[in-house]
Amino acid sequence: MTVGGSIRYDAAMRDPAEIDKLNRRFAADTEGAARFEPGNGGFAKLVLTAPAAEAHVYLYGAHVTHYQPRGQQPVLFLSGKSFFTHGRPIRGGVPIVFPWFGPRASDPQAPMHGFARIRDWDVDSIAARGDSVTATLSLRSSDETHALWPHDFRLRYIVTVGPELDLTLEVTNPLADPVMFEQALHTYFAVGDVRQTRVSGLTTAAYLDKNRDMQKLVDSEDPLVLTGSSDRVYLGTRAKCVIDDPAGARRISVDKEGSDTTVVWNPWSNPPKPFPDLGEDEWERFICVETCNVKDYAVTLAGEATHTMRSIIRAEKA
């Protein structure tokens, strides 16, 4: 059954009556597959429950913070020190990066990784079918986004929870002139010990190494094993990545569509500027393998066109 009709929840207000309204509008007829409840910081959290898995999506940032297949540990890492404060990003899960990646070169005061992850998103619909449940959220340009980025846009984010986690980000340019943007699904994958983790699918790919002044190098490791801080932008990568997590006794695969770059990131034990929203030892328990279009692979979107980027995440016991 599908329930539609866009509703926005203002995370800054944190009004329980608004959560009740969301439940009546979207969750009442899903037969338990969806419910809204107060999350951390009072932000509205959407709980999606399918026969094979459960996920949590905060309307603040359209942020998927949790995905757990039945009989497994959570697939996504969420920091125990994460901020749940309006204007600050959530640390962990799947932050949405748009319309720029990293700091904005023309405005160092602009929010890191764009504004999509620190905006309240609309709920468009929820659908429960067979062994999966899907939520669709959206974000449109406004006077507030124009103050940061002078372009019109429509974002639609489709989260499908089932035996796999399927994340689809659609960007529509409603006007006639082309627009250029960067985007990423900045996914934090939970692992038993990042020092034992191996990532395959990137061998022979060229990458920009942020820890070496953006030198362009070629990955010869098969698979990639992190031995220190990693911040690499792999270029022209479309293949599936597989995260082998022996300490967690499982493998996580990441298929993607509409993405030409992959970022691998972990700050390791002593970053130059410690993160206030990351516990001292939490770096050991995640690796970011990001589906994205950044740097030279930023998207130039024609007028009245839509670009679709998709990430399909599967986890299986090793």
Question: What six digits make up the tokens of 175?
Answer: 């006007």
pLDDT at residue number 271? 78
pLDDT at residue number 2? 45
Q: Which of 66, 186, 282, 284 is catalytic?
A: 186
pLDDT at residue number 161? 98
pLDDT at residue number 5? 57
Looking at residue 138, its amino acid is S
pLDDT at residue number 6? 62
Burial (CB < 10 A; 0-12, 13-18, 19+), residue 108, is exposed
Per-residue pLDDT of the chain (318 residues; tens, 9 = 90+): 444 556 555 654 567 888 999 999 999 889 999 999 999 999 999 999 999 999 999 999 999 999 999 999 999 999 999 999 999 999 999 999 999 999 998 898 999 999 999 999 999 999 999 899 999 999 999 999 999 999 999 999 999 999 999 999 999 999 999 999 999 999 999 999 999 999 999 999 999 999 999 999 998 878 999 999 999 999 999 999 999 999 999 999 999 999 999 999 999 997 778 899 999 999 999 999 999 999 999 999 999 999 999 999 999 998
Question: What six digits make up the tokens of 125?
Answer: 């619909």
d(CA 71, CA 249): 13
Q: Is 63 a catalytic residue?
A: no
Looking at residue 174, its amino acid is P
CATH of 2-317, one of 3.30.70.260, 2.70.98.10, 3.40.1160.10, 3.30.2310.20: 2.70.98.10
Q: Is 290 a catalytic residue?
A: yes
d(CA 39, CA 134): 20
pLDDT at residue number 219? 85
pLDDT tens column, 232-267: 999 999 999 999 999 999 999 999 999 999 999 999
Q: Which of 182, 282, 284, 290 is catalytic?
A: 290
Of the chain, the percentage scoring pLDDT greater than 70 comes to 96
Q: Where along the chain do its domains lie?
A: 2-317
Residues 6+ apart with CB under 8 A from 87: 118
CB neighbour burial string for 41-75, b if at least 16 within 10 angstroms, e if fewer: bbbbbbbbbbeebbbbbbbbbbbbbbbbbeeeebb
pLDDT at residue number 270? 73
